[in-house]
Amino acid sequence: MAAKLLGFLDRDAIVTELNASTKEEAIRELVKVTVARGFVDAKHEDDLARGCLEREKKGTTGLGDGIAVPHVKESPHVKALCGAFGRSKQGVPFDAIDGKKVHLVFLILGAKGTAADHIAILKKLAGLRQNEHFLRFLKEAKDKDAIA
Amino acid sequence: MTNGERSVTGDANGVETVSRDVQLINKYGLHARPATLIAQSAKTFKSEVVLIKGDEKVDAKSIFNLMTLAAEKGAKLTIRATGIDAKAAVDKIAALVEARFNEDD
């Protein structure tokens, strides 16, 4: 059962307004959240941000419709599959496939042995991207309380 | 299980698990407002409350989690609560669903 598929995105994993104005800043800002939550040691913060950026070079995770899902799979530096979600009102340039800026960023960091769950989450997000209610809800929710 | 049927299991400490199947009958399904109402209601109970749709199970106290179900009109959901006030929690949320979340249309 895909129980709590996106359950890792709890209150502490939400950044209601990203400071970032570039793809790299957005990724770094969200990786920092996973460090603060104890899923990643601070000494690996930079490695993981670089890992996400390397992955972006192979093909953008800007899926279109303002959503991006930067990620690193099966990392030995991640203690458990985790993630963070950030919003940007102004939008972040992300080389998205539709050329639009990204307003909703879901960072996913996978630990060793979590590839299947990781892929299930990516699939789920790709599906939700087409759900108008879901997108509008995330964009319009006022604060953490309205999301989490 | 047919619509509205309820199953209950319990232990000696008053902790029980109560499940009930419901169908979304409001016009737009589980969009932001209904999800918010469910989460607010679920949070008033001590029990753990989950909503199940197919093979997905989410925390009913999290609006975000509820939204990820992307449940539309006609969707069949199971409300399941475990705790000392499980029955009350399930009844309350089932009542919200059955009242179409008090939407006008």
Mean pLDDT by 10 residues, chain A (148 residues): 53 92 98 95 97 96 93 95 94 96 95 91 87 87 83
Whole-number pLDDT of residue B5: 61
Domains and CATH numbers, chain B: 6-102 (3.30.1340.10)
Q: Is A3 on the interface with B (CB under 8 A)?
A: yes
- Indicate the average pLDDT of chain A: 90
Which among A6, A122, A130 is the top mutation candidate for probing chain B, defined by the most B β-carbons within 10 Å of its own β-carbon? A6
Please name the residues in contact with B19: beta carbons below 8 A apart, sequence gap of 6 or more: B6, B7, B8, B78, B79, B80, B90
d(CA A43, nearest CA chain B) in Å: 31
In a domain, A4, yes or no: no
Q: CB burial class (10 A; 0-12, 13-18, 19+) of residue A99?
A: exposed
What share of chain B has pLDDT > 90, as a percent?
63
In a domain, A20, yes or no: yes
pLDDT above 50 (res B16): yes
pLDDT band at B6 (very low <50, low <70, confident <90, very high): confident
What residues of chain B, 52 to 71, have a C-beta less than 8 Å from chain A? 55-59, 62-65, 67-68, 70
Identify whether B31 is a catalytic site residue.
yes
In a domain, A3, yes or no: no
- Indicate the average pLDDT of chain B: 89
**Domains of chain A: total:** 1
Q: Is A140 on the interface with B (CB under 8 A)?
A: yes
As given in the structure block, the two tokens for residue A10 are 């709890």
| Section B81-94 average pLDDT | 97
pLDDT band at B105 (very low <50, low <70, confident <90, very high): low
Q: Residue A37 sits in which domain range?
A: 11-143
As given in the structure block, the two tokens for residue B27 are 């016009």
Q: Is A120 on the interface with B (CB under 8 A)?
A: no
Whole-number pLDDT of residue A8: 62
In a domain, A1, yes or no: no
Query: pLDDT, tens digit, for every residue of A49-64?
Result: 999 999 999 999 999 9
* φ, ψ at A57 (rounded to 5°): -65, -30
Task: Check which CATH number belongs to the domain holding A107 and give it.
Answer: 3.40.930.10
**CB < 8 Å to B67, chain A:** 133-134, 137-138
In a domain, A114, yes or no: yes
**Cβ B64–A6 below 8 Å, yes or no?**
yes
Neighbours of A25 (CB within 10 A): 14
Q: How far apart are CA A140 and CA B2, in angstroms?
A: 36
In a domain, A148, yes or no: no
**Cβ A7–B67 below 8 Å, yes or no?**
no
Is the dihedral angle over the CA atoms A42, A8, A108, A97 positive or is it negative?
Answer: negative
